Amino acid sequence: MNILIMGPAGAGKGTMSDLILREFDIPHISTGDMLRENVRNNTELGQQAQQYMNAGKLVPDELINAMVEQRLLEPDCQKGYLLDGFPRTLVQAQAFEEMADRIGKPVESVLALEVSFDTLVDRITGRRICPKCGAIYHVRNKPSKAEGICDECGSELQQRKDDTVEQLKVRMEEYDDHRLL
């Protein structure tokens, strides 16, 4: 099963992805994670991306598309994939559709999550993340057993610097300007 899940920051893509992955034996692919992994592993694509990031620029669509294609050709994607938050723009979507068809991995299902701005504010500002193991909590909806401490590894939880109302407004403007659905 080849699935895209789309929605604004805080819409619940990660939560829904977890539920989908319980049903299907497919990898969860986040372009942000993939980008960080390529940079961390110093791949050719990662080196190119790092140059843009160091200059404070967005990584171009062509580079992101190349990373996605490379990732979808890995053996764990034989049964399908769950692509999280990509494509984000019409240009990315058109390039992705052509690429996915060319490599024999066309999209079979799209989930588009719609959430009110007030709900997004609550979700984003209450989100806490473990910097060590990546576990995600929410101060009210999914609190850790010991306040501010990760249940999984015992590290101190953090709030992402961009998990603010101001940054959410910026991200929502960007999302609304480029939304596909």
Residues recorded for the chain:
181
- In whole numbers, what is the pLDDT of the chain averaged over residues? 90
Q: What is the phi/psi pair of residue 5, to 5°?
A: -120, 130
pLDDT above 70 covers what percent of the chain?
Answer: 98
The b-or-e profile of 6-44 (16+ CB within 10 A means b, else e) is: bbbbbbbbeebbeebeeeeebbbbbbeebbeebbeeeee
**pLDDT tens digits, 27-77:** 999 887 888 888 889 999 889 988 887 787 778 888 888 989 999 999 999
Is 0.85 topped by the overall pTM? Answer: no
Please report the pLDDT score of residue 181 as a whole number: 60
More confident residue, 17 or 171: 17
Mean pLDDT on 4-25? 89
Is pLDDT above 70 for 123? yes
pLDDT above 90 covers what percent of the chain?
Answer: 55
State the catalytic residues.
Answer: 13, 88, 127, 160, 171
